[in-house]
Chains A and B, each alone.
Chain A
Amino acid sequence: MAEVRRHWYVLFAETLGLFILALMPILVIVIFDVFDLATLPNFIPLTLFGSGLWFLAIWIIFFIVWTDYYLDVWVITSKRIIDIEQRNLFSRSTSECRIEKIQDVSVEVHGFLATFLRFGNVKIQTAGESGNFTLKSVPDPHRVKDIIFKEQERQAGESRRGGQVVSSPLSSGVV
């Protein structure tokens, strides 16, 4: 079994704005200093309180984003591919397709960053009613494609030999 998640860059891009926002209290302190307002009564307590409030809000949002990222996963087993999508905290969908139903697997890598950091989309066309699967922004998409192809070949060989079990090329792990 292999678990495939989106590339870490996706999480980084989604949270970059939050990291920039986290610097806002410093900017506010600088502005207050420039306007000579840092001598106002209760400036330090209010700065401490406001910063704590601000950081906590950002911290909570970061973990909501991380949860959405972490719980979005594709699981490739020797029998099927399972697509678990966490849309938001209260919306989640799961779909799956059997390995033998896969007709074609293609890889798309778009852009400089995707090429440089080696991530892209893996599109899976199936013959069944489950339609097409797209594994979005996965790391090392060519390796994922190879894993699916090898698994498909292994299962085809197994069927030809009348169900005799052959060792799976899938090693347990996370891609």
Chain B
Amino acid sequence: MLPFQLNDLLRLITPNALGAVFALMTAIFAAVSWVLLYHWSRYGYNPTMIGRMRALYFWGAGVCFALMTAGILLFES
């Protein structure tokens, strides 16, 4: 048994709450991406390597955002 009522906790979660978390994470991601891309474009010594890592970074983030979006879309309030 868990030391709390999980059902009560789950009732607090709404699609709007998930949307707010999604928006917050998008803002954090955008800010960090801007800083990383600034460094990579200014100090990236090997353009090929930086290009590959940039692609990997955005593909990986895209998969994460897709998972989050799927979670929101499937969520039934």
Contacts and interface: CB of A to CB of B under 8 A. Distances in A.
B partners with A: yes
A60 interface: yes
A166 interface: no
Q: Which of B21, B28, B68 has the most CB of A within 10 A?
A: B68
Contacts, number: 95
Interface string A50-68: 1111011101100110110
A66 B32 CA distance: 13
**Chain B interface SS verdict (over half):** helix
Contact of B71 (A37, A50, A60, A67): A50
7 contacts: A42-B75, A45-B74, A48-B67, A48-B70, A52-B71, A57-B25, A71-B39
7 closest A-B pairs by CB:
A49-B71, A52-B67, A52-B68, A56-B64, A48-B71, A45-B74, A45-B75
Q: Size class of A's contact patch?
A: 20 to 34
B72 A35 contact: no
Q: Size class of B's contact patch?
A: 35 or more
Contacts of A59: 57, 60-61, 64
Nearest to A50: B71
A3 B44 CA distance: 12
Nearest to B40: A67
A53 B21 contact: yes
B74 A89 contact: no
A89 B35 contact: yes
Interface of A: 3, 35, 37, 40-42, 44-53, 55-57, 59-60, 63-64, 66-67, 70-71, 73, 84, 86, 89-90, 174
